[in-house]
Structure 1
Amino acid sequence: MAQTTATPSQTSGDLFSVIATDAPSSLYSRMSSKTTVPSNVSKTSPIQTNNFWGNITLGDQSSYIYTHPYVVWKSNINNFTGLAISHQTDAQKVWGPINDHNAPNYFYSAAGIMSMVLGSSDFDNGFSMSLTNLKKMSIDVTLKSNNSNAGSMTSSILQGMGMVTAVYNNLIPQIHSQVGFQSVSGDTAPKAGIDKYKIVLNDGSVWFMYITFTNNQSCQFALKDSSHIIASNSINNCWIQICCGDFSDYDKAAGCYPIACTLSGSTSNNIGTYSFNYTTAGSGTTPLIYAFPHHVQSFTSKTSSKKSNASINDTVHGQLIGYLTNVFEMSENLPTSANMDPWSSISSFKNASYTQDELNSIRNVAVKDITNDVANLSNVNSMYYSGKILDKFAYVLYVLYYVLKDEDLTKQFLVKMKDAMNRFTGNRQIFPLCYETSWGGICSTGGMSNGDTGVDFGNSAYNDHHFHYGYHIHAAAIIAKIDQLVGDGSWLNNNKTWVNNLVRDVANPSESDNYFPIFRSYDFFIGHSFAHGITVYADGKDEESSSEDYNFNYAMKIWAQVIGDKQMENRANLILAITSRSMNNYMLYMSNNSSIPSRFVPNLVSGIKFENKIEHTTYFGTNAEYVHGIHMLPITPISSFIRKPDFVKEEWESYLINKINGVNSGWKSILMLNVALYDPNTAYNFFNTNNFNYGYLDDGLTLTWALAYSAGVRN
């Protein structure tokens, strides 16, 4: 039986304590990205690179921010200047052609349709924009008139905000719509000091506008023409709120709006609780916040009791439900039993164990795998591919010690692994890493000097850091652990800072760390990471490989166990639990999925998930094994926690079983080891054959691990 040290049960308070505050290693040269931070950005700390509001810090700063349910952006179009707002219903979505799943190959919303624009007649001579209070979960956008009186409006942008709010200071408000106004009528004021208007657009959509006055001010709004509503006079320190949908509970939130959100969390044994805590402004204390399906599924009674009568279509996350609350509190079951050993969520699984025949088969291939020159094989010009190579052999090292219990072979191979890894911890690889000073992060120097985002999948532009560094972190964890057991035990102390720097780059949990943004990749509101960095995408941030996303968090969990950082381990467990729920709503689709549009569900997996579009494809091809396999690799002990046996069975039996005979590349091993997540006997028998075709192995998988995993979870 394979045995590693399990994590004891424990209770933890706030999970977001700092990892370290020291400057990144002097091994990293200091370089600046060719993509500079705009001068109108108030930079008080490292800037988010993969965040939901990222588009507004890039290019001409007029691309879209997806707040869910609204899309907002800066509009410079004549007669429609200001903060543009869009919302499209499911009926307005654009659908792609039908594929071999008998489902549309993609869908998206037409994000650039200006339903409403919060503007001012004072912007007719132009305006400037400034960005302040850049936080992980919010940003303040200020538009300032070029007129001599220099009035301005400021909007706090947060995910899930039920109303788009702008605070007007010495401006004459003007509301625009490219869709056009069908009617505008005064409605019953919900509270003293707040006026309400009902607006019907030419597409039939119903919107409401609330104006909160201060200091006994007032003004009236009237149609100027079919595309513009003009106010009678200037207002100061008053705010206008725009919302879509005919729901009476908007009245309860009118006047109050969120300006920031902080994250808190704790764990107790195998239960994790986390909260979004909203700071509000305006009148009253209760805003309306829209929740995603995965939020609703995990709400505690503290939040579930605050449900409103508002509901609205989102771009790609189904039906959102409004809650009248300033706290979203959610609870999840943590994967505390999934650690370093092969693990499965199959109900009959207890612990990884092996027969003598299985051990013999594993030994026969392991003695071949350890003859590889790992240092030479991993000496490539890519943090991604080098990480995959290092990590696949780290799993062999694990098997030698924990499964085969062969200390002599473990010691021999440990030398090879340390030699290979030391090239990277010494920053002597083909493209060394640097500390990028403009945005704040550890990047590959490949492509940095000329801004070439094609090098190593755009690592220098903050693309895919969690994909790349997760492999290195897990490999380092295995090496450090085995070195403690059979080596001289010094490797961990010598290299802990190097590994922690990679963790901090991707998943720094604290504003006390002045060198990295908080959680560069992971979006706690959406429940998974974004892979896309500092280039503009009109459809928002995106992610292709769900499995390499959670592989980073699994790597962080194992590394935390090795270094004894319980807060990091609990944090990783919580992120994995949130990710499992989110991905099984929006990226992995069983036939009973009710979160995304039903006609897309037969695709079984998302392919590339953007904030505004899901396309059943990959960036490198449309083959079925690519589109499905990129959501599988690498198969690790945490895979079964995300990819549930029922899902894997449905995906295999309804689709992939009919494709597998036509796959004769390394993807074949990925698809077949994935079968072990519901039918480990079939998977084991595929790999446990005489004269196995090594051409079927993915470049990040060894036959040793394929046999050890599938055998370990089948007994």
Structure 2
Amino acid sequence: MSYQRPMMPIPSQGDGTYARPAIPPPYIPTAARDGPPPLPPRPGQQRFDFQETPATNKAPANSQNLEMPFSTEAADIFSSAISTDQPLSAFSRTSHPVSLPVNTSTGGKATETNKFYGNMLLGDQTNPVWTHPYSFFLSKDSNLGMAVSYVSASQRVFASGSPPEYFFGPAGIKSFVFGAVDFTSANQVSLGLTNLTHLQAHVQVRKNANQFILVPLVQGMGFATAVYYNMIPKLSSGVGFKSVNGVTSPRSGIQKYQVVLQNNVTWTLYVTVPSGQSLSLALSNNQIIGNKSVNGCIFQLVPDTNSAIDAAAGCYPNSGTLSGSVSGTTGQYTIAYGLSGSSNGGKTLMYACPHHVSSFTTTMASRKINSSLDSVSMGKMTGYITNTFEMQVNVPSNVGFDPYSTISGKSTPKYSSDVLNAIKSAASTEAVADVVNESNVDSMYFGGKVLAKYAWILYCCQYVIKDKALVSTLTNNLKTAMARFISNKQTLPLRYDTTWGGIISSGSESQDFGNSYYNDHHFHYGYHVIAAAILAKVDKENGGNWLSQNKTWVDNLVRDYSNPNSADSYFPVFRSFDWFAGHSWAKGLFASGDGKDEESSSEDVNAAYAIKLWGNVTGNTNLESIGNLELGIMRGSLNSYFLYLDNNTVEPASFIGNKVSGILFENKIDHTTYFGTKLEYIQMIHAIPITSISSFIRSPTFVQQEWDQKLSSIVSGVQDGWRGILMLNRALSTPTEAYAFFSGSSFKTQYLDGGQSKTWSLTYSGAFI
């Protein structure tokens, strides 16, 4: 997002999807949505018979929670909640216009709004969700059930041009559909959702409470898994079956088949029949059909034939638990997967994204197998037989409030007398400006940017030029400006939504970029939190008590977008940050044919930096470590999927010339923005705001490459606030040039973005000349 982004209605495609208008192709291409035409019925039958024994037709006890117990609690830095108190009474209570679907069990907890499975909670619940490398969606046409789609790299669709503006995976291809003979009409098929946390969802494709197909959704799951309860299995395919052949079984009780689809992709199917039951399968009329009802029978599919996968057959992940720690500049985190079923190796099959593989600890090496599958937007995924992902990253524990650079030899700020005089001259004007009225806007986003801008000026006055008079004036004015928000007297007051569990704007869905529908909360609230951290630090060091008086309000905002523990039942755990994807998702309660998306990777960084600084100021070391760990993870993920060095091998080679993603969806990358197509918008939405943490993510090499290939040719023609962003970004690779721009006689105030000050721009660039 940017300060110059105009207010605009959130576009609707008429079916509840949320998409930027007028950008070809549609997010759900019609041909791709419908998939290939069905093949004519295959004559005759091919039978796969097992020993027949009676099957029970009674659902297991507690059928709403079928798997082994799991916990969303985690050790170390995730082990405690920020608070378990009710949200402040200043936030009036409201129910959300988007209600939870029927047959959704929340367990009394707040419900995730920005997670990978969100489409199944929204609209008609038929839009896909991506677990990577698969997508799943409810099919209610002639193939009733849960559809599974796998899109290989060769199937990606690219725009014309070099580099192409976008590429996407054809959506809606039904590689397989987990269905049942018992489903005879679409109105018999519905979804039930249970065990909803930030790392998993259990989806029931229901005929009724006792007859359903359980599809556990966990990101990175190696098998597309379906467990049948009191139903007669039926597998169909929109692609069509070319051949189905039984092959040697991994062990007794598991049947193994190789299934070749009409597109010549070979899948392996494992069927685990519970002890005391039997099942015969027959291929008839392009469907694989069971001969009887089964209870607890596991069907697993993977588009690979590597025999090493046999060791994981019969076992699947049902949950994920996050744990982590930070020591010095090293962060470690583990996603431990709860398992159901059993396998020869005692583990399951998982696929890791490139940023996982690059940060895996040495213990993961022995678990790797020679299997790789493609994701659409996160590159090639690598197979592991494991029940944990164990990762280690470098974290910026050594980066605080002070300007920081990764330019060799320039990590520590140094100011000459000339630079200090220039900063003081700018601050003498900006520090006494009217922050109170400037922040009086109908937007948490815009208001937060203004508050953060003045907070960074306050930092400069306190720690760089050390002007007590300016510090006193700006501290008082900033307190007054923030008091409007803390007392909830801004134009669009915040409310606490009791339906989903979160603090939302009182504006409509088209105001403030959809804040009331949970869009962009980490962007919006991150600015407020970082402003509060700086104000609290300066005020405390000057003998004030602003922190103790206002900590709870700031904590409420942090809890909304980054609650670390499910003991806090008022907010979901990590609404925004996706610990598997390695970054946040900005899209809230809007269905989308291409899944969740994020545009401004740098404002995601700002939100994590805000957590780090707020944890530091308040003495919450766990929170500070969470911010550090998120930043360490994003250094890898953003430089894989959002920011492209010339040697990037993760994204398609033809796309790397764009240098940045633009908007990254789960099923698409589109080199554009939601608010315009000017090149400075697209590139710099991944730079704004430029703060002390920016260089940790945006390396000097990347910044120089982007400047040479994309920006140097357009900068002279940019005459608005994007000019200042372009030039402060230049300080990440060539600070002398950036400082000369902001201190030069030709500099104009119009070159400053609404969230940017000349004082901070001189301070940051001048620290490293």
TM-score (norm 2): 0.89
Residues 259-338 of structure 1: matches in 2 within 5 Å?
259-284=318-343, 285-338=346-399
In 1, Cα distance between the equivalents of 2:537 and 2:217? 44
* Aligned-residue offset at 1:352: 1.0
Query: In the alignment, is residue 138 of structure 1 matched against residue 200 of structure 2?
Result: yes
Aligned equivalent of 2:157: 94
Aligned equivalent of 1:343: 404
In 2, Cα distance between the equivalents of 1:138 and 1:413? 46
- Structure 1: stretches of 5+ with no match in the other structure: 1-11, 448-452
In 2, Cα distance between the equivalents of 1:25 and 1:163? 44
Contact 2:332–2:392 (CA<8 Å) still a contact in 1? yes
Aligned equivalent of 1:39: 102
* Aligned-residue offset at 1:33: 1.2
* Aligned-residue offset at 1:215: 2.0
Contact 2:202–2:216 (CA<8 Å) still a contact in 1? yes
Alignment partner for residue 177 of structure 2, among 117, 120, 138? 117
Query: In the alignment, is residue 469 of structure 1 matched against residue 530 of structure 2?
Result: no
In 2, Cα distance between the equivalents of 1:185 and 1:59? 39
In 2, Cα distance between the equivalents of 1:144 and 1:582? 37
CA change 1:336–1:130 in 2 (3 A) is same
Query: In the alignment, is residue 217 of structure 1 matched against residue 277 of structure 2?
Result: yes
**Counterpart of 2:203 in 1: which secondary structure?**
strand
**Counterpart of 1:434 in 2: which secondary structure?**
strand
Contact 2:371–2:383 (CA<8 Å) still a contact in 1? yes
* Aligned-residue offset at 1:216: 3.4
* Aligned-residue offset at 1:691: 5.1
**Counterpart of 2:626 in 1: which secondary structure?**
helix
Alignment partner for residue 241 of structure 1, among 273, 288, 300? 300
Contact 1:248–1:309 (CA<8 Å) still a contact in 2? no
Deviations 1:360-385 (A, max 9, x none): 11111111112311100100000000
Query: In the alignment, is residue 564 of structure 1 matched against residue 619 of structure 2?
Result: yes
> Which stretches of structure 1, 4 residues or longer, exceed 6 Å deviation after superposition?
none
Aligned equivalent of 1:128: 190
Kindly provide the amino acid, as one letter, of the partner of residue 290 in structure 2.
Answer: A
Aligned equivalent of 1:479: 535
Query: In the alignment, is residue 232 of structure 1 matched against residue 296 of structure 2?
Result: no
Aligned equivalent of 2:135: 71
Contact 1:173–1:234 (CA<8 Å) still a contact in 2? yes
In 1, Cα distance between the equivalents of 2:655 and 2:624? 36
Query: More deviation in 621-630 or 165-174?
Result: 165-174
Aligned equivalent of 2:424: 363
Kindly provide the amino acid, as one letter, of the partner of residue 374 in structure 1.
Answer: V
Aligned equivalent of 1:585: 640
Contact 2:504–2:518 (CA<8 Å) still a contact in 1? yes
**Counterpart of 1:446 in 2: which secondary structure?**
coil
Contact 2:257–2:270 (CA<8 Å) still a contact in 1? yes
Contact 2:432–2:473 (CA<8 Å) still a contact in 1? no
* Aligned-residue offset at 1:310: 1.3
Contact 1:16–1:265 (CA<8 Å) still a contact in 2? no
- Structure 2: stretches of 5+ with no match in the other structure: 1-74
In 2, Cα distance between the equivalents of 1:644 and 1:682? 17
Kindly provide the amino acid, as one letter, of the partner of residue 198 in structure 2.
Answer: K
Residues 595-634 of structure 1: matches in 2 within 5 Å?
595-634=650-689
Kindly provide the amino acid, as one letter, of the partner of residue 301 in structure 1.
Answer: T
Aligned equivalent of 1:450: none
In 1, Cα distance between the equivalents of 2:307 and 2:718? 55
Kindly provide the amino acid, as one letter, of the partner of residue 93 in structure 1.
Answer: R
Contact 1:16–1:571 (CA<8 Å) still a contact in 2? no
In 1, Cα distance between the equivalents of 2:385 and 2:690? 41
In 2, Cα distance between the equivalents of 1:130 and 1:472? 37
In 2, Cα distance between the equivalents of 1:85 and 1:384? 38
Aligned equivalent of 2:119: 55
Kindly provide the amino acid, as one letter, of the partner of residue 245 in structure 1.
Answer: D
In 1, Cα distance between the equivalents of 2:375 and 2:308? 19
Residues 643-658 of structure 1: matches in 2 within 5 Å?
643-658=698-713
Kindly provide the amino acid, as one letter, of the partner of residue 536 in structure 2.
Answer: A
Aligned equivalent of 2:233: 173
In 2, Cα distance between the equivalents of 1:409 and 1:230? 78
Deviations 1:426-463 (A, max 9, x none): 1110011110110000011111xxxxx21000000000
Contact 1:521–1:529 (CA<8 Å) still a contact in 2? yes
In 2, Cα distance between the equivalents of 1:353 and 1:407? 21
- Structural RMSD (CA): 1.2
Q: How many residues align?
A: 690
In 2, Cα distance between the equivalents of 1:438 and 1:406? 48
* Aligned-residue offset at 1:232: 2.2
Aligned equivalent of 1:443: 504
Query: More deviation in 517-526 or 401-410?
Result: 401-410
* Aligned-residue offset at 1:150: 4.8
Contact 1:141–1:155 (CA<8 Å) still a contact in 2? yes
* Aligned-residue offset at 1:127: 2.5
Query: In the alignment, is residue 668 of structure 1 matched against residue 723 of structure 2?
Result: yes
**Counterpart of 2:307 in 1: which secondary structure?**
coil
Identity of aligned residues (%): 47
Query: In the alignment, is residue 372 of structure 1 matched against residue 414 of structure 2?
Result: no
In 2, Cα distance between the equivalents of 1:46 and 1:602? 42
* Aligned-residue offset at 1:14: 3.8
Contact 2:272–2:297 (CA<8 Å) still a contact in 1? yes
Deviations 1:460-500 (A, max 9, x none): 000000000111011111111111122x4111011000000
Aligned equivalent of 1:23: 86
TM-score (norm 1): 0.95
**Counterpart of 1:185 in 2: which secondary structure?**
strand
Deviations 1:276-306 (A, max 9, x none): 1010011132000000000000000122220
**Counterpart of 1:600 in 2: which secondary structure?**
helix
In 1, Cα distance between the equivalents of 2:555 and 2:210? 47
Aligned equivalent of 1:429: 490
